[in-house]
Amino acid sequence: MKDFWNERYAASEFAYGEAPNEFFRIQLDELPVGKILLPAEGEGRNAAYAARQGWEVWAYDFAEAGRKKALELAERHGVQIRYDLTTHEAADYPEAHFDVVALIYAHTPARKLLHEKAVRWLRPGGTLILEGFAKEQLQYSSGGPRDEALLFDRALLETDFRALSDLWIEEAVVELQEGRYHRGKGAVIRVVGRKAD
């Protein structure tokens, strides 16, 4: 899997574009600036945006080619991000450390572990932001895993994030325009939740 992502990110163009995910951008812009963690950050489009807004950005992925492009993108924008090369299983950050943890298309067989860690990494009062593909995405050809087990539905996310308060979940069919690999109609699911004080 790592080879797949390194190959995708090795191209000169950005696989999912250089602009941040729109849902992420809208949610982040509503929050006071602080520390953010972006797991599975790929080529850094969301990390660079957050850093440009003044956030202290931590990110990780296991694909070296993604990290290289993310750091180049940040440098081009005159900002700094901390970007670690690690896996979801090995990722180790301080508990209750981040004001925001954002999971943008972070589809993984380690879903349950990642979601548990994301809640732990949030400080009390912190916000979780998630956008990913719903199981209905198998009807569409606009991107995402072709394995239903890696896709999301409301019940699964309600269970994974039951520890969060003010949990908001939206399912929608949208027109994706994120680079070459997220293009066309897609079935997405979005989550915003808050860790209780």
Structural domains in the chain, CATH included, are 2-195 (3.40.50.150)
pLDDT of amino acid 181: 94
Token digits of residue 51:
């850093």
Using one digit for the tens of pLDDT, what is the confidence trace for 126-138? 999 999 999 999 9
> Is residue 2 over pLDDT 90?
no
What's at 177, amino acid-wise? Q
Tokens matching residue 169: 């979940």
Q: At residue 84, does pLDDT exceed 90?
A: yes
What pLDDT score does 167 carry?
A: 97
**pLDDT band at 38, cuts 50/70/90?**
very high
6 has pLDDT over 90: no
107 φ/ψ angles, rounded to the nearest 5 degrees: -90, 125
Q: How confident is the model at residue 30 (pLDDT cuts 50, 70, 90)?
A: very high
Q: What is the mean pLDDT of residues 28-57?
A: 98
Q: Which two tokens stand for residue 185?
A: 């109609």
Judge contact between 193 and 168, C-beta under 8 A.
yes
Percent of the chain beyond pLDDT 90?
Answer: 95
Phi and psi for 187 in degrees, rounded to 5? Answer: -95, 110
Q: Is the pLDDT assigned to residue 1 strictly greater than 90?
A: no
Q: For 166-183, what is the mean pLDDT?
A: 96
Residues 6+ apart with CB under 8 A from 49: 19, 20, 24, 25, 28
pTM score of the predicted model: 0.97
Give how far the C-alpha of residue 97 lies from the chain's centroid of Cα atoms, to the nearest Å.
17
How confident is the prediction for the chain on average, in pLDDT? 97
**pLDDT-derived band of residue 24, with 50, 70 and 90 as boundaries?**
very high
pLDDT exceeds cutoff 90 at 90: yes
d(CA 89, CA 12): 29
